[in-house]
């Protein structure tokens, strides 16, 4: 399978704990995106990388959120001191070069904060 993969698929944590998610994009894609999706809503943009550079961050991305893509391949999204409002599906997508190219999404990581 050469699609976008995400791990873990599900994460249950207690409020206040830190969590980290991983995304492996399609190998030839240099762009990687993180989105958050809550029930009944469309995905909301969080941040975007081109190679290892983080080029855009949404205002939704509070100081408790940090994302990295150290070698321009896989990416991690960390949430510190989780809150119940962080419960959502976290989606990763990747795309090739160019503007307006389609993004290919992974299966997501469902986070539940108790």
Partner 1 sequence: AQKVTQAQTEISVVEKEDVTLDCVYETRDTTYYLFWYKQPPSGELVFLIRRNSFDEQNEISGRYSWNFQKSTSSFNFTITASQVVDSAVYFCALSEAGNQFYFGTGTSLTVIP
Q: Which of 8, 15, 17, 41 binds partner 1 (CB under 8 A)?
A: 41
Which helix (H) or strand (E) is 104 found in, with range? strand 104-105
Q: How far apart are CA 65 and CA 83, in angstroms?
A: 11
Query: Which stretches does DSSP call E strand in 8-79?
Result: 10-13, 19-24, 31-37, 44-50, 53-57, 65-68, 75-79
CA terminus-to-terminus distance, the chain: 33
Smallest gap, in angstroms, from Cβ of residue 14 to partner 1?
24
Q: How far apart are CA 30 and CA 110, in angstroms?
A: 25
Smallest gap, in angstroms, from Cβ of residue 86 to partner 1?
18
Site membership for partner 1, residue 60 (CB under 8 A): no
Nearer to partner 1, 81 or 97 (CB): 97
Q: Which residues pair with 68 in a beta bridge?
A: 76
Nearer to partner 1, 82 or 106 (CB): 106
Site membership for partner 1, residue 107 (CB under 8 A): yes
Q: Which of 77, 89, 111, 113 binds partner 1 (CB under 8 A)?
A: 89
Query: Which residues are near partner 1 by CB under 8 A?
Result: 31, 33, 35, 40-45, 48, 55-56, 58, 89, 91, 93, 95, 99-108
């Amino acid at each position: 399978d050469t699609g976008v993969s995400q791990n873990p698929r599900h994460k249950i944590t207690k409020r206040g704990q830190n969590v980290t998610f991983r995304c492996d994009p399609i190998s030839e894609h240099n762009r990687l995106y993180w989105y958050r999706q809550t029930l009944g809503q469309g995905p909301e943009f969080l941040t975007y990388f081109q190679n290892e550079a983080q080029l855009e961050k949404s205002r939704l991305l509070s100081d408790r959120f940090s994302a990295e893509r150290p070698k321009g391949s896989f990416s991690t999204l960390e949430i510190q001191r989780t809150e119940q409002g962080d419960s959502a599906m976290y989606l990763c997508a990747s795309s090739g070069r160019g503007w307006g190219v389609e993004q290919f999404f992974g299966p997501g990581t469902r986070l539940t904060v108790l």
